[in-house]
Amino acid sequence: MQEQFTVFLQGILTEPDQCIAYLPLLSEQQRREILLEWNDTQVDDPQDKCIHQLFESQVDLTPDAVAVVFENQQLTYSQLNCQANQLAHYLRSHGVGADVLVGICVERSLEMVVGLLGILKAGGAYVPIDPEYPQERLTFMLEDAQVSVLLSQQKLVEKLQTHQENIVCLDTAWQLISQLSPENLISEVQGHNLGYVIYTSGSTGQPKGVAMNQLALCNLLLWQRQNVTISSGAKTLQFAPISFDVSFQEIFSTWCSGGTLLLIGEQLRREPLAVLGLLQEQAVERLFLPFVGLQQLAEVAIERELVISNLRQIITAGEQLQITPAISQWLSQLTDCTLHNHYGPSESHVVTSFTLTNSVETWPLLPPIGRPIANTQLYILDENLQPVPVGVPGELHIGGVGLARGYLNRPELTQEKFIANPFSTYPNSRLYKTGDLARYLPDGNIEYLGRSDNQVKIRGFRIELGEIETVLSQYPHVQASCVIVREDIPGDKRLVAYIVSQKEQRATVSELRSFLTQKLPEYMGPQAFVILDSLPLTPNGKVDRRALPIPDLHAELTDQYVAPRTPTEEILSLIWAQVLKLEQVGIHDNFFTFGGHSLLATQLVSRIRTSFKVELPLRSLFAAPTVAQLSPHIQRLQQQELELTSPPILPRDENAELPLSYAQQRLWFLDQLQPNSSLLILKVYLLP
């Protein structure tokens, strides 16, 4: 601090007419360290390589190695290459070439990865479309991207009604495609051409497409390959949806290093216990997960005492990594596994890496995001684009070859977010303004501090709060709205929407939920709604977000509360209330309507399994999200367990301890969950 103040005073003396905001705080040595030494990441960049060519080089090395496995199907590198080539020849015949966008809307399957690779081999850029998205969002993305061809499957055609003439169903059209040449195509694609366009949440009410070029993606793949610490041929679990950028890293970093990609079905992917079983059964060595996914696996692994012996690398990205007690305990058992924390927005892909070393007990609660990867520069700047000293917060800016081209069809937004790099001598060098707050640590690592705007990350999903507000404003009876993230319970982030209804017609919560379901993905739906007469304002006339009240879910519950009718429903209602942090839950109250999400769902199912001694799949909760719906399912599972395990009736020693009856067990369990509860009071009537 003293040195910075001295530099500041010297600046005043040297340039007395200079605006204070532009006076230096860093000495020449500090400036050189921050701007140059910590950004000295240059290596030979892959100017002459494209993604599919890196894959083809690996095919030459290991043609008979297994490239991908899905359920009981698999393809070797040679087989995958041939099928992708046949699809590429087909796409070429339909006009696909450099910078031509090709949509892909498929379920998890071998067709999914053949489709991605075939598009790249044809020279095009893929546009992944999640078939789970609402119809309106899906249609917007296809129309905005103006895809020339849309790869899909017959079962999904009904959802793609507006693009029927462009659809190629990979399952039904494969007989024709398989007749084409299996040979590699001659490619004229270069580093500046596009590799993919992936849509992310946008503040205007519509998603925006991030256009990523080949050079940026190849740079990531080569850096990843040079930093691989797992064995050749190792299996990597493909966990992320292809509509998220980390899926590219999962898939192509595996194929560029000779590994085997293990695809997992959508239902299994939602089951932490099933994922753990697959990791063990398939001897998976590498796993990419957002923090929330890692937390879910750790909790279940600790509960079930599961140690995944073959796991060597866990790579987490997407939101702030936290070393929770469950993660700490699980990782301490995985003695041969290394945890890596990656950071990178969609506009640049991964740009930093931090490896947690030494004993787990020494790891910080919030690990830093690390240092820049190859051919990447990071700058932490103030609002005047001046570098800040070590320890001082500023906005993180990204430079180097890893930047996206910009936003598809959004030149103004591209110009706003991608600015000229004032620290580079290279022509046309740019910086991306991330909106993320960060600071340098003394050793040069970077610590993430949060956002400077209304963009948030919840459970690994990037969300612009403004997009939710814009969609809410489209509802006829909404006069004004504000959406924020609340963390009233530590570790439980929730989206909360505050609504001002029109006086003539009040909007109801159920109507708003239904409306948003048709417009936004499930992960963007608020967990709570608060109806207000007006939004609190600051003296400047802006919404005072700090003055917004804590949501009262009980108010939404009160009018429709129906009490439990059976012992099973009583226990389920108590578990529901404990997990959701509510005083009471009725048998018809939807778990997800009242604040439930994927992480809490895992906790709920875990408690149900423990309480009822049944193997309840997580997907059962999504199919039956109320106590009334789930109770019969649990009773059926209990009956099945009883039929399988019922022992023969034998005489018992009269001095032996007798087990509790089911009614007695119920009373004991209810007392453990809620001591001194009125549920345990027996009503006695004395007759005269």
Cα atoms in the 13 Å half-sphere on the side-chain side of 159: 23
Name the residue with tokens 């395990």: 645
pLDDT (tens digit per residue) in 400-451 = 999 999 999 999 999 999 999 999 988 889 999 999 999 999 999 999 988 8
For residues 343 and 350, the answer to whether their CB atoms sit within 8 Å is: yes
- The answer to whether domain 1-40+375-453 and domain 455-551 are alike in fold is no
pLDDT tier at 658 (50, 70, 90 boundaries)?
low
- pLDDT score for 684: 44
Percent of the chain with pLDDT over 90: 48
The set of residues, in sequence order, having a beta carbon less than 8 Å from that of 41 and lying 6+ positions away, is: 372, 373, 374, 375, 376, 377, 400
Q: What stretch of H or E contains 338?
A: strand 338-343
pLDDT tier at 687 (50, 70, 90 boundaries)?
very low
* CA dist., res. 74 & res. 21, Å (int): 61
For residues 111 and 171, the answer to whether their CB atoms sit within 8 Å is: yes
* CA dist., res. 151 & res. 446, Å (int): 41
Percent of the chain with pLDDT over 70: 87
* CA dist., res. 473 & res. 461, Å (int): 22
Three-state SS for 140-173 is HHHHHHCCCEEEECHHHHHHHHHHHHHEEECCCC
Sheet with 478-489, side-by-side order of all strands: 478-489, 492-501, 528-532
- pLDDT score for 75: 98
CATH number 3.30.300.30 given to 455-551:
yes
Cα distances (Å, whole numbers) of residue 105 to 255, 523, 571, 645? 22, 19, 42, 45
Please provide the average confidence, as pLDDT, over all residues in the chain.
Answer: 86
- pLDDT score for 682: 45
Across residues 298-316, what is the average pLDDT? 92
Q: Residue 82, SS3?
A: helix
* CA dist., res. 622 & res. 182, Å (int): 43
Chain-centre distance of CA 186, in angstroms? Answer: 36
Name the residue with tokens 């995985």: 334
- pLDDT score for 680: 47
Q: With a cut of 80, say whether residue 476 has pLDDT above it.
A: yes
pLDDT (tens digit per residue) in 79-131 = 999 999 999 999 999 999 999 999 999 999 999 999 999 999 999 999 999 99
Among 21-25, 210-214, 327-331, 640-644, name the one with the lowest average pLDDT: 21-25
pLDDT tier at 672 (50, 70, 90 boundaries)?
low
* CA dist., res. 55 & res. 289, Å (int): 23
Q: Which residue in 407, 350, 341 sits closest to 378, CA to CA?
A: 350
Alpha helix (H) residue ranges in 46-171: 51-61, 77-93, 110-121, 135-145
pLDDT tier at 593 (50, 70, 90 boundaries)?
confident
Range 567-637: architecture per CATH: Orthogonal Bundle (1.10)
pLDDT tier at 683 (50, 70, 90 boundaries)?
very low
Across residues 176-199, what is the average pLDDT? 95
* CA dist., res. 226 & res. 46, Å (int): 13
CB atoms within 10 A of CB 364: 11
Across residues 388-393, what is the average pLDDT? 89
* CA dist., res. 639 & res. 616, Å (int): 13
Q: Residue 250, SS3?
A: helix
Across residues 389-409, what is the average pLDDT? 94
The set of residues, in sequence order, having a beta carbon less than 8 Å from that of 169 and lying 6+ positions away, is: 152, 153, 154, 157
φ, ψ dihedrals at 29, nearest 5°? -65, -40
- pLDDT score for 9: 59
Alpha helix (H) residue ranges in 270-335: 272-281, 291-304, 325-333
* CA dist., res. 97 & res. 186, Å (int): 11
Q: What is the DSSP letter of 358?
A: S
pLDDT tier at 657 (50, 70, 90 boundaries)?
low
For residues 109 and 263, the answer to whether their CB atoms sit within 8 Å is: yes
- pLDDT score for 161: 74
Q: What is the DSSP letter of 543?
A: B
Among 27-41, 64-78, 327-341, 434-448, name the one with the lowest average pLDDT: 27-41
Alpha helix (H) residue ranges in 478-614: 509-517, 553-558, 567-580, 598-612
1-40+375-453 — its CATH code? 2.30.38.10
Token pair, residue 382, equals 């103030």
The set of residues, in sequence order, having a beta carbon less than 8 Å from that of 124 and lying 6+ positions away, is: 91, 96, 97, 98, 99, 100, 101, 102, 148
Name the residue with tokens 């007749």: 179
Q: With a cut of 80, say whether residue 170 has pLDDT above it.
A: yes
Q: Which residue in 295, 285, 334 sits closest to 318, CA to CA?
A: 295
Q: With a cut of 80, say whether residue 654 has pLDDT above it.
A: no
- pLDDT score for 511: 86
476 CB-contact burial (10 Å; exposed 0-12 / middle 13-18 / buried 19+)? exposed
Q: Which residue has the higher pLDDT, 90 or 678?
A: 90
- pLDDT score for 379: 97
pLDDT (tens digit per residue) in 498-508 = 998 887 778 88
* CA dist., res. 199 & res. 133, Å (int): 12
Token pair, residue 226, equals 């040079």
**Domain limits, the chain:** 1-40+375-453, 455-551, 567-637
Across residues 587-611, what is the average pLDDT? 80
- pLDDT score for 123: 97
